[in-house]
Chain A
Amino acid sequence: MPDDALFLISIIALPFLGSFIAALLPTNARNAEAWLAGLVSVGVVAIAISFRPVLAAGNVVRAEYAWLPEFGLNFILRLDGLAWSFVVLIGGIGFLVVLYARYYMSPADPAPRFFAFLLAFMGAMLGIVVSGNLIQLVVFWELTSIFSFLLISYWNHNQTARDGARVALTVTAAGGLCLLAAMLLLGRIVGSFDLETVLTSGPRIVSHPLYLTMLILFALGVLTKSAQFPFHFWLPRAMVAPTPVSAYLHSATMVKAGVFLLARFWPAMAGHEYWFWIFAPIGVATLLIGAFMALFQQDLKGLLAYSTISHLGLITLLLGLGSPLAAVAAIFHIMNHATFKASLFMAAGIIDHEAGTRDVRRLGGLYRAMPITALLATVAAAAMAGVPLLNGFLSKEMFFAETIESHVDTVLDKALPYIATIAGVFSVAYSLRLIHQVFFGPPAKDLPRQPHDPVLWMLLPVALLVLICLLVGILPGPTIGNFLAMAVHATLGPQTPTYSLAVWHGFTPALFMSGVAMIGGVALYFALQRYLSGDVEGVPILGALKGKRLFERALVFLSWRWARELEQNAGTTRLQPQMRLLVCVTIAAALWSLFSRPGSLDFTWPSSADPAFVLVWLVGGICAVAAAYQAKYHRLVSLILTGGAGLATCITFAWLSAPDLALTQLLVEIVTTVLILLGLRWLPKRIEGLDPDMTPKARLRRVRDLLIAVAGGAGLAALSYTVLTWPIGNSIASNFLERAYTEGGGRNVVNVILVDFRGFDTFGEIAVLAIASITVFSLLRRFRPARDSIELPAQKSFQNRFDADRYTGGKDPLSAHYMIVPGLIMRLLFPVIAMTAAFLFMRGHDLPGGGFVAGLTLAIAFILQYMAGGTRWAEARLRVLPARWMGFGLLAAAATGAGAWFFGRPFLTSAFAYADIPILGKVPMASALFFDLGVFSVVVGATVLILIALAHQALRVQRVSSDAAAAPPTEGSR
């Protein structure tokens, strides 16, 4: 069914695509954004509806794409009845929220950001519900956390918004990590990450020894997301988000992800007492605490947030009970809650929008000013309270009936009917308070704005949702019956119980409980009315229960105090101890592996030696050791000595028949020398010699450091010697040697490895090179040299004084004529060196050379011009634009790599052929040549950028010091 697969993937792809487009629209395109988002939501719902006939027959639609087949992971999309009802819920309410948001958001708010995040969130949420693979599900799960974070902090100039978003992200993302662990365990228990397999292996999961561990991790993930006690505190704080976000994420969809997962895995995991003992008590606690705290909230959205927590607790409790009938009630209540709570949030947003405040105490009598809003909110609140003929009543009735049944024979189970009734009482009381204090009573005075009913389009989403509440409440069978049956059947399968969706079941105990809750709730509200209208902030009794405070303290400890202490006690900012530690650890690691496998380091002295080669090596070795010895007090000498050691290495490469390496080594050597010389100018003045009165302790430290250094150096030398004398077996090197020409089309193995076999690594490396050089450049823009190196070098100032004495009046000073002959030669050499670079580049694939070497050569040619004529002279004649070189290089490399896609090959597959070019003759043309061109270009750009940035320091400091020199006389003349 290819069409099915296409439709299925578009359920997720549409919102993400829409999000991408939305992000690119202009800032003030509110209408275009809303149209886009609305069409996407409608599209999602339409696709879902097209699947309905298939699903109603009890089938499951699946689409599978290879994701990481090596690990047995496929990207699976799976749509069944439960997922379907969530898709419709997410798409449908998404559409209404978009419509509402178009009128809610002010023109000053950046629309692209809002709609792009909202659509991306929709995509992530849909991803969760249609995922058929456990790992994939967690990925989408975490995506919802991230987009929720971005949406809560939408008004990011507001400190509380940022804080709230951070808390929400910390809690839900940490839960998501637990969920990932749970899913990995689950996959291990079942032996597959395919949801289909997991759902059918319930008995195996429940009897597995890891079941409890997995279940606790799973619970942590689910409970944090669904804001269950004790993790509920993030939800009220997330109310700083724009109201459409609260209506969408924090009532209808995201917080439902947790309970969705409970329902999803119910058939696989619920068959054990542990399930009851984890979810039922937490559900009960959340139900009661949420309802209790909701009653005492003064913020309209805060009240709704706690009420949401309470209802989520109810759903968790129902699913936790473990009986199929309770699961039916839970799924039904998920749907009902989404409709009435989303509409209430939207109504709260309207009130906030029109009246300018959400404080329940300041509002009152609004039904006169906004009658339609009042009517709609009243019906929705009645549904929330569970008034008959509304959808809330039906699921609440099922809940009450279910609490009476006995499940696990315990005190908790026996107490459930009473607990449920108490929660019902509170629920009625806060619903009544919401309506009575806001819309009725004496009219509010001195409101920030003059309230009135909003535009029709803003009321429409609320009205539609309320209409659904009514229809479902009066005629449950014809309206929601089929959909519920589909969802329930998909969840419970053969366990599906018989249930009836009637408004009137006769005089049952559940009806009696409903009645008690109604009367009790009304009585409670009127008893507390005076207290609630007073100046009470916070919640009595439970006010001390500050999850938020605890959380913050924990965070402070973890991320601030402990981190600080750890850093102070275990960290150091000094370079010497760090180096010492690093070297010591390296030595220890080498020794450990040496002694754990004795005999791995056996020396075989070379049988014969070339005397010249030995001499070169002696020279190189002496140079290297002397360089280390001089490094601290004679920098220039040390640099020259390093050059000598490098040259010896270069000869060694050539000697051991690696001329390409010799070439590279030589060029790197030259460029590095110039680079360090450029930097040497800016280092602080050197310290002359050792401190004569050194303490014995310092002397001891120096001896110790010497020993460490000798051990490290000798160890490294021994290791490399062993590796070099290792008998060549069937190593990767010989593999490369064999395949270089046949598969890469080149004889220069190093180059073929760089641009073909390991092309992807090289691509990463040149990207890093470009980044590093840009970093150097931007660091140097703000470079403040040491005080004693700001003034002109001694040589220069001496020369200037001499010139000033001798050559006055129009005569060229002596310094203008220095290095004339070498300077001319250096200028003339530019084309020669550039030609060499081109030569090295062109034949790089077969013989020594290649993009890297050629790039360095050309960079040296540029540096020579700078040295010959100075920065001003060189830049007046030759503008090198290093950033463009690098940009072109990266693009060329990426384009070559991507070119392989057009031939149906993976990224960076190279092809080769021979081409006949006039004059040059037969030239091997590998596609890798263009990749090499990219390498070449990046190397030129990066090297020149760093060198020029260093060279410009001289100009900059001259400017600064001449400004400083010019300043005092003007002051003196005043």
Chain B
Amino acid sequence: MNGSVLGWALLIGQILIALAMACAAFRILKGPRAQDRVLAMDALYVNAMLLLLVFGIGSGSTLYFETALAISLLGFVATVAMAKFLMRGEVIE
């Protein structure tokens, strides 16, 4: 992988996704509104999923895809819960 195009692409991809995570984290910290923070957290989840995919491509193991699948399938649950909390004041009515 060393020196190949794929190797470099993966590395840059990882760094960029990590930077995206940092941006999302900044939004969580900064706000200003609660809705911004929830949206940022969702972005954080999506980025984490992507990071794992990229890492999986690098390592050649399918196990990472499964973890990524779990994030994509279930990661939105926390976001939905928060959205409902903000909109209705209660998660389960």
Q: Which residues of A contact B (CB under 8 A)?
A: 610-613, 615-616, 618-619, 622-623, 626, 636-637, 640-641, 643-644, 647, 650-651, 654-655, 659, 662-663, 666-667, 669-670, 673-674, 677-678, 680-681, 792-796, 799, 818-819, 822, 826, 829, 832-833, 836, 847-848, 857, 860, 863-864, 866-867, 870-871, 947, 950-951, 954
Contacts and interface: CB of A to CB of B under 8 A. Distances in A.
Given A636-B34, A848-B63, A860-B74, A616 B51 contact: yes
Given A626-B29, A654-B67, A615 B22 contact: yes
B90 A796 contact: yes
B63 A659 contact: yes
B93 A954 contact: yes
Contacts, number: 160
Contacts of A654: 52, 55, 64, 67
B28 A650 contact: no
A81 B18 CA distance: 84
- Which 6 A-B residue pairings sit nearest by Cβ, starting from the closest? A793-B89, A612-B14, A615-B18, A951-B92, A612-B18, A659-B63
A637 B70 contact: no
B93 A677 contact: no
Given A670-B77, A674-B91, A616 B18 contact: yes
Nearest to A874: B92
Contacts of A847: 63
A925 to B, nearest CB: 22
B51 A643 contact: no
A622 B91 contact: no
A666 B74 contact: yes
A14 B57 CA distance: 70
Given A650-B48, A822-B80, A867-B84, A670 B74 contact: yes
B2 to A, nearest CB: 13
B29 A622 contact: yes
Contacts of A860: 74, 77
A677 B69 CA distance: 24
Contacts of A650: 48, 67
B73 A832 contact: yes
A622 B28 CA distance: 11
A954 B67 contact: no
B87 interface: yes
A641 to B, nearest CB: 6
Given A637-B34, A651-B48, A832-B73, A866 B92 contact: yes
Given A637-B31, A654-B67, A678-B92, A644 B25 contact: yes
Nearest to A673: B78
A867 B48 contact: no
Given A626-B29, A641-B28, A615 B15 contact: yes
Given A619-B22, A655-B55, A951-B92, A677 B29 contact: no
Contacts of B92: 678, 863, 866-867, 870-871, 947, 950-951, 954
Nearest to A823: B80
Given A654-B55, A681-B89, A615 B64 contact: no
Contacts of A832: 73
Contacts of A667: 70, 74
Nearest to A856: B74
Contact of A662 (B11, B19, B67, B90): B67
A871 B90 CA distance: 12
Given A674-B91, A947-B92, 12 more contacts: A626-B28, A640-B38, A640-B82, A641-B29, A643-B44, A647-B44, A651-B52, A666-B74, A681-B91, A793-B90, A848-B67, A867-B91
B28 to A, nearest CB: 6
B66 A622 contact: no
A674 B89 contact: no
Given A619-B22, A870-B93, A796 B81 contact: no
Contacts of B71: 666
A796 B78 contact: no
Given A860-B74, A954-B92, A644 B15 contact: no
13 contacts: A619-B25, A637-B34, A641-B28, A647-B45, A651-B51, A651-B52, A670-B78, A673-B81, A677-B81, A680-B85, A832-B73, A864-B77, A954-B92
Interface in B3-41: 11, 14-15, 17-19, 21-22, 24-25, 28-29, 31, 34, 37-38, 40-41
A645 to B, nearest CB: 10
Contact of A666 (B14, B19, B70): B70
A950 B88 CA distance: 16
Contact of A863 (B29, B52, B77, B93): B77
A640 B41 contact: yes
B84 to A, nearest CB: 6
Nearest to A623: B25
B77 A674 contact: yes
Contact of A612 (B17, B40, B82, B86): B17
Given A637-B37, A666-B67, A677 B82 contact: yes
Contacts of B37: 636-637, 640
A662 B49 CA distance: 12
A468 to B, nearest CB: 76
A619 to B, nearest CB: 5
B22 A618 contact: yes
